[in-house]
């Protein structure tokens, strides 16, 4: 994940504060509870790309032999496979 946990905490806090102070939502429980929910949502969304990268690495490693890996441009193949999976799954990164 490219964003540190502390930054996600601050982002979640700012989102919740803006929603409650702007009267966009009515939240009768502690704001910290909503912050935790928002934090989980942000973290899960950011993990989608990390999980996809891991899957692409596994696919490439499983489908190429050692000598083929030496001949290919790994970065280019990685990006091509990743782009294809993103398109097939309708992901937004």
Q: How far apart are CA 34 and CA 17, in angstroms?
A: 10
Q: What are the residue boundaries of the structural domains of the chain, listed by start? A: 5-89
User: Helix, strand, or coil here: 93?
Assistant: coil
Whose CA is closest to 53, among 24, 33, 74?
74
Residues in the chain: 93
List per-residue pLDDT tens for the chain, 93 residues long: 678 999 999 999 999 999 999 999 999 999 999 999 999 999 999 999 999 999 999 998 887 776 576 677 888 889 999 999 999 999 988
């Amino acid at each position: 994940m490219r964003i540190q946990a502390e930054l996600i905490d601050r982002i979640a806090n700012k989102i919740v504060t803006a929603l409650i102070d702007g009267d966009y939502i009515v939240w009768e429980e502690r704001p910290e509870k909503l912050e935790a929910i928002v934090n989980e949502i942000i973290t899960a969304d950011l993990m989608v790309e990390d999980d996809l990268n891991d899957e692409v690495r596994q696919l490439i490693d499983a489908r190429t032999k050692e000598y083929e890996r030496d001949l290919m441009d790994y970065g280019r193949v990685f990006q091509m496979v990743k782009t294809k999976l993103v398109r097939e799954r309708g992901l937004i990164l």
